Structure 1
């Protein structure tokens, strides 16, 4: 597949089923928002949390179809956000989240964010994940 600029990649992913032609900026901002929320203690429901994780899925799907220039531009920011997310989450191989959302189809290496849960378990998400035996 020919590399695409940000707008064209968004259109390709929209045709693949994403609800609109998002941009890298939109999804990087959403991923940054989620990472900050997890750092502060994510308090919404597990359904909202899993929905928010899809921002990282979009970035993962976009990467192979983006131009090298776009990848070079965005990679440092995405890597930094990924590192922050890893620092405030616990690896449990997806055991807790899989009680609420099907993750078996997600590649365990490439889509590692589905195999982690927030270290700080608060409010509604915390109650749900603790009920699934999540640990800090």
Structure 2
């Protein structure tokens, strides 16, 4: 059920044998993501439950889900970019059907994130599912 962009990340991860290389990949992926406009970094877009500052700004256009996001932590910014690859472009009704923990598990992220980062990642996924669920 993952997008083609997410499948490309999975394929790239298969070539990266050690976690440090994968960690760098996630950070670089986040660096390549466009930043979120400062005007959108408001309490309504802030995600609670994250150790760092995180903002997600979802959009639904023509029945398709997408979001922009940003964080003050490089690895979290990378995780946002990975979530964008997983969700952006899906029909809004499909967003809630994505088994994000299983998909992210294909990258081995579950085993290599601190408890705080894992909680933050879950909070971001919950926010995405909530917005899509309300819109669907």
- TM-score normalized by the length of structure 1: 0.32
> Higher strand fraction: Structure 1 or Structure 2?
2
- TM-score normalized by the length of structure 2: 0.32
Bigger radius of gyration among the two: 1
